[in-house]
Amino acid sequence: MIGIVDYNAGNIKSVERALSYIGTPYVLSKNPKDLQKVDKVIFPGVGEAKYAMEQLHETGFYSFLKDFAKSGKPLLGICLGSQIIFDHSEEGDVDCLGIVPGIIQHFSTVFEKQGKDMATYKGLKIPHMGWNNLEFHKESSLFQEVEKEASFYFVHSYMIQPQDNSIVVASADYGVLVPSVITWKNISACQFHPEKSAKAGLQILRNFVQNQDGKLC
């Protein structure tokens, strides 16, 4: 059974619709106790990191998610949920879940670190919003039967900066390489919205649901 974390900061309806479309039963709850026995968890998110972390603490999902990650069961973060599984976010200068080593930084910070001037990239708008294809760095069962040329839907102003770049499965080019899919132990995360990414996104969700051993690479 799939569990969906509802912590007042998630793109819940679109995830529900996507799972229903691919015929996957799920449990959606605002109470961590209701998800104690699920086999896998989807951790969606939209909005601001500091608010999301406040909600995780208030609802009890902060401890639940850390314990679930330690259990070895598969967890999939989506958009903001792909970010706040890391240690710290520049957005609101907030400590996050600390499940995966790394930080979250604004596009402007990443450009500056790489010695690039965002103003020189004509047409580059933040937030990064719209469809992008991916550059793949390694194989992952998440992308079984997904065409390499497929595009995915992004909406974000901050990006993952993992401590270990080898966990990045795929990146999008938006002036800088944007880590877009990571896998680390039993954790996977998509910066884009698979539930809003048409056929290719639905296939990623299907692969996550159907994978039996929890190994995503």
What is the set of active-site residues? 79, 193, 195
The answer to whether residues 92 and 48 touch, using CB atoms and an 8 Å cutoff, is yes
- Cα–Cα distance for residue pair 193/152, rounded to 1 Å: 7
- Cα–Cα distance for residue pair 27/14, rounded to 1 Å: 14
Classify strands 135-136 and 158-162 as parallel, antiparallel or unpaired: unpaired
Write the CA distances from 202 to 8, 18, 162, 193, integer angstroms: 23, 7, 26, 10
The answer to whether residues 195 and 9 touch, using CB atoms and an 8 Å cutoff, is no
